[in-house]
């Protein structure tokens, strides 16, 4: 039987106001995997009201005790890792090993932020005046609106929820309509661990109705959004109208640089994993390979041979390398970009087609695709494709490689393969991305360092690590004067009056 899932508002699992539902089909075979309650703007109003009420007490709940609750959540996630991973694969298509990694990332983030319940450091500083004490502390902000994408359906919600909650905020979350079940499982675990009613709320539905209602709600103090650049910029305009604090994580056009002294076998492994993991549907996916012309032919040959041998199929099959893309519109968009690349004159060296053989015809499969001889000005070298497509761009020097890497609108992730430590440090100094790897691909961020990008990738905030707490808290500077007199900082003493 197909399972039906409801929304979570004020500590109760409820249907949407209109009683409507929507279904989600397995992108590998078209089978219905679950149905979900469809939320409305009125449901958002109820969820925000519940979160606002809960904030009054949750903000005063001692942070170390909030951490203990997160530790309990992390342990439950560990116990159910395999179940949640298999459900994720059925709902969005990534291969089972990657789905396990997605859940593991949520586990790691939960444990990490649980520990911050006993830290969340502020500062103490000397005062310029006698008998005066200075310090700064973090304070929660209020109701947090969280809007998450479908490509990392448990990891990304955890990046946002865990720092929000450990800091004493409450949450109203809208998961992507392609992947609500992972967020539901996360909320179920919180409920089982004993989270007070109203602290976390989940409303499912379209961005146009539920997402807009969260972003525009006067009682939502901040919004954390991950999604496309186009949508993110629209969110920014709407949030600015009411001065809502906003964190944006948007697109990427990430580059792997391969120098003439690189270990080509290692580079091949890194590129294939970065370009075709999650079927290329990662904001950190390697959709550009900037390769020194002297090794271009060798690298292209290695990549084409390996990519051609990758097996497509249902992600629950452990022998499958590449699963389906998330939807038919996404598949059509990828195919359109492949046609654009061919029209622009790029040389297709492997893949390039929608997979239509046998059982693959039931799903949304695209062959791993590699273009060679790509110019930096071609659209496939500048625009985010979000599919299993990468492009080899030849260069003649490290300077040119860095210039090409920086020469796009985005700035999330980049990597360089080289045996020369001087080149590696040049890349660290001159490549303008939020993340940089040396002798590794463009994916694989760990949760205890900041995650985010520059330029059109984001608006300056970072997720993960202690940097996430800067977004989900307000700084308060506190001055304690125990002199018994009125002391005035920066004011010259009045003649004849002791200071």
Mean pLDDT of 69-89: 98
pLDDT at 149 over 80: yes
Task: Identify the domain containing residue 306 by its residue range.
Answer: 254-438
Dist CA 3 CA 434 (whole Å): 40
| 244 and 264 both lie in a single domain | no
Q: Is the pLDDT of residue 203 over 60?
A: yes
Quick one: 233 and 287 in the same domain?
no
State yes or no: pLDDT of 301 exceeds 80.
yes
Give 373-390 as a DSSP string.
S--TTSGGGTS---SSEE
Please report the pLDDT score of residue 358 as a whole number.
95
User: Whole-angstrom Cα distance, residue 446 to residue 284?
Assistant: 13
What pLDDT sits at residue 492?
A: 83
Instruction: For residue 361, tell me if it sits in a domain.
Output: yes
Average pLDDT over residues 294-302: 98
CATH number of the domain at 277, please.
3.40.309.10
Q: Is residue 475 classed exposed, middle or buried when 0-12, 13-18 and 19+ CB atoms within 10 A define those classes?
A: exposed
Per residue in 18-39, pLDDT (tens digit) is 999 999 999 999 999 999 999 9
Asked about 249 being catalytic, the answer comes back as yes
Residue 36 lies in a domain: yes
Region 467-472: mean pLDDT is 97
Q: Is the pLDDT of residue 496 over 80?
A: no
Query: Is residue 126 located within the same domain as residue 268?
Result: no
Looking at the fold, whether 222 and 323 belong to one and the same domain comes out as no
Q: What are 139-148's pLDDT values in tens digits?
A: 999 999 999 9
Task: Indicate if the pLDDT at residue 123 is higher than 80.
Answer: yes
Which residue in 131, 218, 120, 214 sits closest to 171, CA to CA? 214
**Residue 106 C-beta-side C-alpha neighbours within 13 Å:** 31
Per-residue pLDDT band for 495 (boundaries 50, 70, 90) equals low
> Is the per-residue pLDDT at 238 higher than 80?
yes
- If asked whether residues 25 and 46 sit together in one domain, one would say yes
Q: Examine residue 192 and state whether it is found in any structural domain, yes or no.
A: yes
At 258-288, the pLDDT tens digits run 999 999 999 999 999 999 999 999 999 999 9
Of the residues 438, 466, 491, the one at which a domain ends: 438
Structural domain contains residue 446: no
Alpha-carbon distance of 125 to 145, in angstroms, equals 34
Cα-Cα end-to-end distance for the chain: 80
Q: What average pLDDT does the segment 59-69 reach? A: 98
Residue at 30 is within a domain: yes
Average pLDDT over residues 149-160: 98
pLDDT per position as a tens digit, 409-463: 999 999 999 999 999 999 999 999 999 999 999 999 999 999 999 999 999 999 9
* 259 assigned to some structural domain: yes
The whole-model pTM stands at 0.95
Q: Return the pLDDT at 81.
A: 98
Q: Which of 87, 283, 384, 463 is catalytic?
A: 283
Q: Are residues 101 and 203 in the same domain?
A: yes
Examine the residue annotation and report whether 68 is marked as an active-site residue of this protein: no
- Are 262 and 407 within one domain? yes
Tell me the C-alpha distance between 148 and 171, whole Å. 13
Taking the mean position of all CA atoms in its chain, how far away is CA 416? Answer: 22
Whether residues 211 and 280 share a domain: the answer is no
Domain count, the chain: 2
| Domain shared by 98 and 151, yes or no | yes
359, 310: one domain = yes
Residues 246 and 258 in one domain: no
Is the pLDDT assigned to residue 159 strictly greater than 80?
yes
Write down the catalytic residue from 209, 249, 384, 463: 249
Q: What is the CATH number of the domain that holds 137?
A: 3.40.605.10
**One domain for residues 55 and 140:** yes
Has residue 37 been placed in a domain? yes
Does a structural domain hold residue 487?
no
């Amino acid at each position: 039987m197909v399972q039906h899932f409801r929304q979570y508002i004020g500590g109760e699992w409820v249907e949407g106001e209109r009683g409507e539902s929507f279904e989600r089909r397995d992108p590998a075979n078209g089978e219905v995997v679950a149905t979900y309650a469809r939320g409305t703007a009125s449901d958002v109003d109820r969820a925000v009201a519940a979160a606002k009420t809960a904030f009054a007490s949750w903000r005063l709940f001692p942070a170390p005790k909030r951490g203990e609750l997160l530790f309990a959540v992390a342990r439950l996630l560990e116990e159910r890792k395999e179940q949640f991973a298999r459900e994720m694969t059925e709902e969005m298509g990534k291969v089972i090993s990657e789905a396990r990694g997605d859940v593991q990332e949520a586990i790691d983030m939960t444990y990490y932020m649980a520990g911050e319940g006993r830290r969340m450091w502020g500062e103490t500083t000397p005062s310029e005046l006698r008998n005066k004490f200075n310090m700064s502390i973090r304070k929660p902000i209020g109701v947090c609106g969280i809007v998450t994408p479908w490509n990392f359906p448990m990891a990304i919600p955890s990046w946002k929820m865990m720092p929000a909650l450990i800091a004493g905020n409450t949450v109203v979350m809208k998961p992507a309509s392609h992947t609500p079940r992972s967020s539901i499982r996360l909320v179920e675990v919180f409920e089982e661990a004993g989270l007070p009613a109203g602290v976390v709320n989940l409303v499912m539905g379209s961005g146009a109705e539920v997402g807009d209602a969260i972003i525009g709600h006067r009682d939502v103090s901040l919004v954390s959004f991950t999604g496309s650049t186009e949508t993110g910029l629209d969110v920014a305009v709407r949030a600015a109208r009411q001065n809502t604090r906003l964190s944006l994580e948007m697109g990427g056009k990430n580059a792997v640089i391969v120098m003439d002294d690189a270990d080509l076998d290692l580079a091949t492994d890194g590129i294939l994993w970065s370009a075709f993991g999650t079927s290329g549907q990662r904001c950190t996916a390697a959709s550009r390979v900037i390769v020194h012309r002297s090794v271009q032919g060798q690298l292209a040959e290695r990549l084409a041979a390996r990519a051609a041998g990758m097996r497509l199929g249902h992600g629950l099959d452990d022998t499958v390398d590449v699963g389906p893309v998330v939807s038919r519109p996404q598949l059509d968009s990828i195919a359109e970009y492949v046609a654009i690349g061919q029209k622009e004159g790029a040389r297709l060296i492997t893949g390039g087609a929608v997979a239509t053989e046998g059982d693959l015809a039931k799903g949304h499969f695209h062959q791993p695709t590699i273009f060679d001889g790509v110019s930096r000005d071609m659209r496939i070298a500048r625009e985010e494709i979000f599919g299993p497509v990468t492009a080899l761009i030849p260069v003649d020097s490290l300077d040119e490689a860095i210039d090409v890497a920086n020469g796009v609108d985005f700035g999330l992730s980049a990597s360089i393969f080289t045996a020369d430590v001087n080149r590696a440090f040049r890349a660290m100094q001159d490549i303008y991305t939020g993340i940089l790897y040396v002798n590794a691909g463009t994916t694989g961020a760990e949760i205890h360092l900041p995650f985010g990008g520059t330029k059109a990738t984001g608006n300056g905030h970072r997720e993960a690590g202690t940097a996430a707490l800067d977004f989900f808290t307000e700084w308060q500077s506190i001055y304690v004067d125990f002199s018994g007199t009125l002391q005035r900082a920066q004011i010259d003493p009045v003649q004849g009056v002791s200071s």
